[in-house]
Amino acid sequence: MRSLPLPLALTARLSPVVVLAAAGWAMSSAPAAPPASEDTTTTQSSGEGESSNAPAAVVGSKAYSAAPAPCGSLSEKSVKDLVPGAKTAGKEIPSTDAKLRRTCSWNALKGYDYRWLDISFEIKDSETAAKDSFKDRVAAKSGGGDVPGIGSAGYSVVNLASEDKQQSREGLVVIRSSNAIVAVTYSGSNFESKQAPPLADINKGAIKAAREAFATLADSQKS
């Protein structure tokens, strides 16, 4: 049995997971910082377009008062599709103020394929504060495109990174609705081929998760 050598950026995310050459998966304690991007590819909603059944954007200066439970924002089927081998319940990351910010993480290594998914809800003091946060996130991950049909504003970008000849691809989707922000990070690698998953798979997967997460946010406002 031998260990697969991993680039530092991916090792940080997998730690303390030991990657076996045969197969296996495990959960790590918390997400690390997104990998540095070697190229940024402009992406939009992958042909999905405006969704007729997407929840309507909530208007007003402060429509949301608390962040919903993020680990319940995805169906079990979606978790199995996006992160094969992961525990469907997910793992909520400790927060300094769970009322205003909550994050759930799923990750797994199945065979040689690794997937990582984070969903975060952030509640700002006002719609203006949420707009500023949205603009800052877009500026920090420039080169992407709009995601129509979700919330008041949506943005998607996919980055490709490579370290020690190991590629990884990460998609980020940010949605704003009134004073709330939904952020989805979805990434993947293959430790046998050393190739990243196709851009379309990561982009569509991140947008799919964002749609379900936003529906959870919208439902929480009604209750």
Condensed to tens digits (0 to 9), the pLDDT of residues 15-70 reads: 433 332 233 323 233 333 333 344 444 344 333 333 334 444 444 467 999 999 99
Asked if residue 216 has pLDDT above 50, the reply is yes
Q: Average pLDDT for residues 161-181, to the nearest whole number? A: 97
Proportion of the chain above pLDDT 70, given as a percent: 72
Between vectors from CA 42 to CA 140 and to CA 218, what angle results, nearest 5°? 70
Say how many Å lie between the first and final Cα of the chain, rounded: 52
Ramachandran assignment for 207, one of left (phi > 0), alpha (psi -120 to 50 degrees), beta (any other): alpha
**pLDDT beyond 60 at 166:** yes
Name the maximum alpha-carbon separation found in the chain.
58
Is it the case that residue 144 has pLDDT exceeding 60?
yes
In 76-191, at which residue ranges do the beta strands (DSSP E only) sit?
91-93, 101-110, 113-123, 145-146, 153-163, 166-177, 180-190
Tokens of 32: 């690390």
Task: Give buried/exposed letters for 212-223 (b at 16+ CB in 10 A, else e).
Answer: bbbbbbbebbee
Give the whole-angstrom CA distance, residue 43 versus residue 37.
15
pLDDT exceeds cutoff 90 at 217: yes
Question: Are the beta carbons of 153 and 58 closer than 8 angstroms?
Answer: no
pTM summary value? 0.75
- Is the pLDDT assigned to residue 129 strictly greater than 60? yes
Summary mean pLDDT of the chain? 80
Q: Summarize the confidence of residues 87-94 as an average pLDDT.
A: 96
pLDDT of residue 35: 35
